[in-house]
Structure 1
Amino acid sequence: MIRVSDIMEKEIINVKNGKRMGFITDIDMDVNEGKVISFSISGDSGRGFFSRGYEEEAISWNDILKIGCDTIIVNIGSEFNLDEFNI
């Protein structure tokens, strides 16, 4: 069994593009069923160091592939495109 406090400390990594998405800030649960529905994460939007440029994003429980010691691996969005790097 995993505690909520343990999950909140893990970094989210997207397996499709290898990007770090951020950390879990909130958990949406179905109290009647006792199941996690989704996680809210906050990630850096790429603004300056002193800015509060954080974006909030929801990740469905079904998008989680693996919960590891330090990270949670998710499968979201489109795959990595090598054409962007002129390779």
Structure 2
Amino acid sequence: MIRVSDIMDKEIINVKNGKKMGFITDIDIDVNEGKVVSFSTTGEGSGGFFSRGMDVDMIFWNDILKIGCDTIIVNIGSERKLDIDEMKI
């Protein structure tokens, strides 16, 4: 079992692009189902709860790949597919 306070201390990283997405600022729970639906984050380096007016990113529970000791790894967005002709070595 994981406590909410433990999850909010973990940094979120997107596996698609390696981008640091910041820390969780809010959790949306479906009380009828008893399940976590999504997390909100205001981005890397934001002031968390006190950062009013900042852009908020939503991370859905289904996008989480792994909750580790220090980080939460998510899979958000699409990968760019490169043609062999586009690659220059």
1:23 maps to 23
Runs of 4+ in 1 over 6 A off after TM superposition: none
Contiguous gaps of at least 5 residues in structure 2: 46-51, 83-87
1:44/1:68 CA distance change after superposition, 3 Å? closer
- TM-score, scaled to structure 2: 0.77
Moved more, 36-45 or 21-30: 36-45
- TM-score, scaled to structure 1: 0.78
- Tell me how far apart the structure 1 counterparts of residues 11 and 44 of structure 2 sit (CA, whole Å): 12
Which structure is larger by alpha-carbon Rg, 1 or 2?
A: 2
Q: How does 1:1-87 map to 2 (within 5 A)?
A: 1-44=1-44, 54-79=54-79
Aligned length: 78
Contiguous gaps of at least 5 residues in structure 1: 46-51
